[in-house]
Structure 1
């Protein structure tokens, strides 16, 4: 994987940061896209040798095109795209505000499509495109309807895009994590609830970002015969 160039959206925190660190350790040059805390982005890019952090809204096609432009100008091209950006607002269907629904779908659905579209146009032959869903598309937990429904779009998008890219040796897959110890998952949950969720897993714990990054590393590099798939990474809970 030496010499490859990866863009990781949502790459300055949580699973995205773990993925970026793992791909860098695998020998890839990494561009981190973020939309949040500049201080956090500076810390993340500083922790990864040669990494560049770029502010970019994944739902804005102009910003995403500029992100790819920068990667090409700085490193010569793009081989791997990992779209880990996402937001999660959990409420029962009857209680979810439609403004929150729209904000979540803008990032999780439109953003996934915009990034995939630009990747399809610009990833070099032999590359990999990786999106994120969630294991809740199987577990179907209450309060997750809007989040899981939006994330499930990538489970349909990836196999179709894989077929559309026939002849270019580009793999397109989706990773669907289970409960993972990140701020996105932990925020707003009591210690008791977290312990209960962890106890439902056959492995007896929450996932760690590094568990997810390990699978992304496979899909981004040597796992060339995995294509058009959704890989559930959840310790066996679903």
Structure 2
């Protein structure tokens, strides 16, 4: 298998309609990949339709799939659609996540359950299904968060429920390795997208911008090439969480 060339390979991207996922979709389209672009709900349908139009205009074969992935059966169905359309999947990338910024003692059980479903459960069963369905020598990558290395309050459910994905990544890489499948996680700093600003005050935004050694928020254009590298030439990196944040956190 040519690990440098994605031309003709099937790439499944959750949250592939906008922000980082949308950029990945467009980048892979320019390189001749076949794409399965997932989006969650009606609220992102317009972005999803715009992205698939752009991808197809670039000459890529692509399908759009709406699904609530907090139900495992919908993750299975997502891979089913990919296999039915393209005959298999070579690369699976999960960009899904949800942020909650709230004091520990004020977090409700409902909020905890939602954060757990989106940040941990989806990641677990996405990796599981990818491990079952990917072609040999496939690649799996999950987006987590640089807050995994932060000493901070207020993000107990976000960082706390992304944290298990590090071990999911290690365990899966060990189990899937004999088939040549690499499994990685990427931990960006706070990214300059609408996903970031919803829960942050102006003062907090200013702090986050000043906290990185290189200055500013993380640009999705600095994260997409790293993910693209890990699922191509960088396939020899496996079981690892790679922090890419301009010096926002480190360990």
Report if TM-score (shorter chain) is over 0.5.
yes
Give ranges in structure 1 of 5+ residues lacking alignment.
Answer: none
What is the aligned residue count?
A: 238
For the pair 1:29 / 2:40, whether they are aligned, the reply is no
**2:9 and 2:89 in contact (8 A); partners too:** yes
Map of 2:3 onto structure 1: none
**1:12 and 1:41 in contact (8 A); partners too:** yes
Distance in 1 of aligned mates of 2:115 and 2:31:
32
Cα-to-partner distance string for 1:121-177 (whole Å, 9 max, x where unaligned) = 001011101112211010132211111011011111111101101321110001111
For the pair 1:47 / 2:58, whether they are aligned, the reply is no
For the pair 1:164 / 2:175, whether they are aligned, the reply is yes
Aligned counterpart for 1:95 among listed residues 98, 106, 109 = 106
Distance in 2 of aligned mates of 1:149 and 1:157:
14
Distance in 2 of aligned mates of 1:10 and 1:140:
28
Cα deviation, residue 208, structure 1: 1.1
**1:60 and 1:114 in contact (8 A); partners too:** no
Query: Which range moved further: 121-130 or 51-60?
Result: 51-60
Corresponding residue SS for 2:234: coil
Map of 1:123 onto structure 2: 134
Distance in 2 of aligned mates of 1:189 and 1:100:
18
**1:58 and 1:114 in contact (8 A); partners too:** no
Map of 1:150 onto structure 2: 161
**1:201 and 1:237 in contact (8 A); partners too:** yes
Corresponding residue SS for 1:165: helix
Corresponding residue SS for 1:104: helix
Distance in 1 of aligned mates of 2:222 and 2:179:
29
Map of 2:69 onto structure 1: 58
Aligned counterpart for 2:25 among listed residues 20, 24, 37 = 20
Query: Which range moved further: 16-25 or 67-76?
Result: 16-25
Distance in 2 of aligned mates of 1:205 and 1:75:
40
Cα deviation, residue 193, structure 1: 2.6
Q: Which runs of 4+ in 1 moved over 3 A?
A: none
Cα-to-partner distance string for 1:12-54 (whole Å, 9 max, x where unaligned) = 1222222222222333211111113222211121121233210
Give ranges in structure 2 of 5+ residues lacking alignment.
Answer: 1-5
Distance in 1 of aligned mates of 2:205 and 2:186:
22
For the pair 1:6 / 2:11, whether they are aligned, the reply is yes
